[in-house]
Amino acid sequence: MQPLTEVQKLLKNLPGRLLPVTPEACDLTPLSGGFNNLVWRFTANDGAGYVIKLFNNDNVIPSGRSNERKLTQQASDIGITPRLVYWDDNNTFAVTEYQAADGSRLSKDMALRTLIKLHGLHTQSSQTVDYLEDFSVNEQLKAFSFKRVYDWQNRMLSSALARCVCHHDLCPDNLVIAKDQLWVIDFEYSGWGHPLFDLASLSESFSDPETKLQLWQTYLSTSGLPCSKQEREAWQAAQALYTFLCANWFYRQLSSQKTNQRLAGKAEYYHSQLIELISRSN
């Protein structure tokens, strides 16, 4: 079945009490979305805009998608992600309100407000946080040894910041800025983790190294911790770990989609950022 036809079929079966929509006349428009799921914008009969996401569940365990649903609903309830309208019980698709960016720039204060709310969400906690479980290094990154990568994780985890719910993918593609507010979308990788990983991810939206540093310092201060040598080293390690894992993920995807220029561009970007981070810390 073609994606457009599949979307129309799903919308036709959407409970009518949720929103009035005529699938054949709802102005379906594909959005760029992420690299795993298909995302479309559509207009309901009352003129309001919505987003429908079709999930690719090939490598996602049911409990992972259920956790995503739970955290998306919590984030929707406190207003840091567009309102969740419907989530299919079979984890086939979800519908949210559409929030358009208005061209505003992300400020440090706006980012911190949202991040603190995000880290206050609730899920089942875990004794361990391991970003390198079932981990393998892609060929293009063989220059970075296992020992070095595990050292980044260990140094990040040495921070005294408390573990919490993390989004784990706060890259610019998953941020919408409108009306002096930051909206976070796509909770696919959310779960129990370390806040420095989210800080490293969120800091990608700021090109100025000083602003990145201030973001970390203010978050640390809000948590009642001093900017000690150990905390600074943990922050630097988190940035390296996050950037490495992004490069590694995109290279892995590229190995099966060799002509995908978008994937290639992302892999090369994170690879170059990693080299720059390491050169600045030496």
pLDDT band at 97 (very low <50, low <70, confident <90, very high): very high
Average pLDDT of span 236-241? 97
Q: How far apart are CA 233 and CA 254, in angstroms?
A: 32
Summary mean pLDDT of the chain: 90
Q: Angle formed by the axes of helices 209-222 and 195-202, to 10°?
A: 150
Q: Which residues contact 232 (CB under 8 A, 6 or more apart)?
A: none
Element (H, E) at 95: strand 93-97
Architecture of domain 3-97: 2-Layer Sandwich (3.30)
DSSP letters along 200-259, please? Answer: HHHGGG---HHHHHHHHHHHHHHTT----HHHHHHHHHHHHHHHHHHHHHHHHHHTT-TT
Tokens of 18: 């949720």
Which of 36-45, 70-79, 115-124, 269-278 comes out lowest in average pLDDT? 36-45
Which of 61-65, 87-91, 197-201, 232-236 comes out lowest in average pLDDT? 61-65
pLDDT: is 128 or 122 the higher one?
Answer: 122
Burial bucket for residue 111 (CB in 10 Å: 0-12, 13-18, 19+): buried
Topology of domain 108-281 in CATH is: Aminoglycoside 3'-phosphotransferase; Chain: A, domain 2 (3.90.1200)
Residue pair 117/95 in contact by the 8 Å Cβ criterion: no
pLDDT score recorded for residue 257: 84
Domain ranges of the chain: 3-97, 108-281
Tokens of 143: 């220059």
pLDDT score recorded for residue 3: 65
